[in-house]
Amino acid sequence: MTASKRLFGSADGLWSGLHLAPGSAPGIALAPAAQAAIVVQQGMIQWIGKAAELPAQYAGLKRHEGSGALVTPGMVDCHTHLVYGGQRASEFALRLAGASYEDVAKAGGGIVSSVRATRAASEDELFASAAARLEVLLAEGVCAIEIKSGYGLALEHERKQLRVARRLGEAYGVTVRTTFLGAHALPPEYAGRQNGSSEYIDLVCQEMMPALAAEGLIDAVDVFCERIGFSLEETGRVFKAAQALKLPVKLHAEQLSDMGGSALAAGHGALSCDHIEHLSQAGIDAMRNSGTVAVLLPGAYYTLRDTQLPPIEALRAAGVPMAVSTDHNPGTSPCLSLLLMLNMACTLFRLTVPEALAGVTLHAARALGLQDTHGVIAVGLPANFVLWNVREAAELAYWLGGKPVRTVVRQGLIR
């Protein structure tokens, strides 16, 4: 895949002939058949409502004809590891032959093999490969994306990844939230040392995080809290260091086992706990009390052929907001389609279509702390919305491999 260049036009004007997907514009309830309109001025949403109630002052604006398209907020992909060197198709083959994810990791493959390839790549090489992947996500209507580090595992290489993430945001006019995941895996040079894990966590907390935060490269901090990652105690140390720098936290929690990470994260006011297949009721209660978003990652569940479903019914009963994301990464979710995740969230995890749609818009925005600017269509927000060639919202989750996007408006431009 290679990156390509395109020219964009302004989205300013009157967008007419639209159908509003349910839940897309808070406070605006239209009958399914009612035509909606959106007014964009200087890249911002100026008005949205029933076309028949359009204020006269907007009637003469340049018109963008929707021709009955369904409109949703711009999609938000709230958990990705988009920037890395190489790829890991060979591991896919090993797993087909019976090896587990943990087997592959213990044998020196897994995350550490992406670390080798990421360290070996230049910043420009990482930019080019990630840009090509980003373009695929953007073409499906993604308007905001989280990008984690965690394949560098040394200051200069984590910096390189985060710088690429920032550059992608600027080059593509897409909102990028960077997450420092220095505590993703033990770097090879620390493996086999007596206190290697603890010493590496010291490096993460005392050197890497403060330096990268000072360079403005970190929007949030994450840890892989797992048997093959870092312990609860080490996770707590990383969170403490993040809080000292006033950085919000999130967590790869309870993916392969119940480590109690979600309750710890919730206790630190985490934005989100992600994966959570093995989440306990105590974890759910803690997340509800802290307003932490549950990020569901069906692509990893599917790729690993996991059989432990996240506790969807209990999360729903507790009122914990559920987001859905690609978890794009070269090991467990080489997925470049948020729409496919919408389908899998419904088919595999039994979310309803409105829940899944809120999961890739409203709740995904909240998982990134972007709830005031993304995830809904509302007056005063930057114009981020998608016109779809479908009649009803359920089609967005229903078609497998369809190409339903008609037009993407991102940061006030038609893409």
If one asks whether residue 235 binds ligand DI6 (CB under 6 A), the answer comes out as: no
Kindly state the smallest distance separating residue 125's Cβ from ligand DI6, in Å: 18
State in Å, rounded, how far the first CA of the chain is from the last one.
Answer: 19
Kindly state the smallest distance separating residue 110's Cβ from ligand DI6, in Å: 5
Q: For residue 271, give every residue at least 6 positions away whose Cβ sits within 8 Å of its Cβ, in sequence order, or none.
A: 220, 248, 249, 250, 292, 293, 366, 367, 368, 369
CB-nearer residue toward Fe ion: 234 or 327: 327
Stretch that binds ligand DI6, among 136-144, 154-162, 261-269, 324-332 (CB under 6 A): 324-332
Q: Which of residues 62-101 bind ligand DI6 (CB under 6 A)?
A: none
If one asks whether residue 225 binds ligand DI6 (CB under 6 A), the answer comes out as: no
Task: Report the SS3 class of residue 236.
Answer: helix
The token duo for 145 is 């994306």
| Residue 157: contacted member of Fe ion, ligand DI6, none (CB under 5 to 8 Å, by partner type) | none
Q: Which of residues 325-364 bind ligand DI6 (CB under 6 A)?
A: 327, 329-332
Task: Count Cβ atoms within 10 A of the Cβ of residue 367 and give its class: 0-12 exposed, 13-18 middle, 19 or more buried.
Answer: buried
Of 160, 177, 252, 366, which one interacts with ligand DI6 (CB under 6 A)?
A: 252
CB-nearer residue toward ligand DI6: 224 or 239: 224
CB-nearer residue toward ligand DI6: 127 or 224: 224
DSSP type of residue 133? H
For residues 371-408, one letter each, b for 16 or more C-beta atoms within 10 angstroms of the residue's C-beta and e for the rest, the string is: bebbbbbbeebbbbbbbbebeebbebbbeeeeebbbbb
Asked if residues 251 and 273 have their Cβ atoms less than 8 Å apart, the reply is yes
Phi and psi based region of residue 218 (left: phi greater than 0; alpha: psi -120 to 50; beta: remaining): beta
Kindly state the smallest distance separating residue 332's Cβ from ligand DI6, in Å: 4
In this chain, which residue has its C-beta nearest to ligand DI6? Answer: 331
**Alpha carbon of residue 328 to chain centroid:** 8
Q: How far is CA 376 from CA 134, 281, 299, 386, in A?
A: 22, 30, 24, 11
Asked if residues 58 and 394 have their Cβ atoms less than 8 Å apart, the reply is no
Stretch that binds Fe ion, among 134-142, 178-186, 323-331, 384-392 (CB under 5 A): 323-331
Kindly state the smallest distance separating residue 104's Cβ from ligand DI6, in Å: 8
Considering CB under 6 A, how many residues would be counted as binding ligand DI6? 13
If one asks whether residue 300 binds ligand DI6 (CB under 6 A), the answer comes out as: yes
| Residue 77: contacted member of ligand DI6, Fe ion, none (CB under 5 to 8 Å, by partner type) | none
Of 327, 346, 384, 405, which one interacts with Fe ion (CB under 5 A)?
A: 327
Kindly state the smallest distance separating residue 31's Cβ from Fe ion, in Å: 40
Q: Which of residues 36-65 bind Fe ion (CB under 5 A)?
A: none
Q: How far is CA 314 from CA 256, 279, 287, in A?
A: 19, 10, 12
Task: Report the SS3 class of residue 14.
Answer: strand
- Phi, psi at 358, each rounded to 5°: -65, -30
Kindly state the smallest distance separating residue 275's Cβ from ligand DI6, in Å: 7
The candidate with the shortest Cα–Cα distance to 39, out of 62, 13, 67, 18, is: 13
Kindly state the smallest distance separating residue 223's Cβ from Fe ion, in Å: 11
Kindly state the smallest distance separating residue 46's Cβ from Fe ion, in Å: 38
CA–CA dist 413, 9 (Å, integer): 6
If one asks whether residue 224 binds ligand DI6 (CB under 6 A), the answer comes out as: yes
- Phi, psi at 144, each rounded to 5°: -150, 140
If one asks whether residue 355 binds Fe ion (CB under 5 A), the answer comes out as: no
| Residue 311: contacted member of Fe ion, ligand DI6, none (CB under 5 to 8 Å, by partner type) | none
| Residue 110: contacted member of Fe ion, ligand DI6, none (CB under 5 to 8 Å, by partner type) | ligand DI6
Would you give the binding string for ligand DI6 spanning residues 179-198, x where CB under 6 A is met?
A: -----x--------------
CA–CA dist 295, 252 (Å, integer): 9
| Residue 382: contacted member of ligand DI6, Fe ion, none (CB under 5 to 8 Å, by partner type) | none
| Residue 331: contacted member of ligand DI6, Fe ion, none (CB under 5 to 8 Å, by partner type) | ligand DI6
Q: Which residue has the tokens 């560098």?
A: 152
CA angle 160, 161, 164 (to 5 degrees): 85
Q: Which of residues 106-135 bind ligand DI6 (CB under 6 A)?
A: 110-111, 114
Positions in the binding site for ligand DI6 (CB under 6 A)? 110-111, 114, 184, 224, 252, 255, 300, 327, 329-332
Q: Which residues bind Fe ion (CB under 5 A)?
A: 327
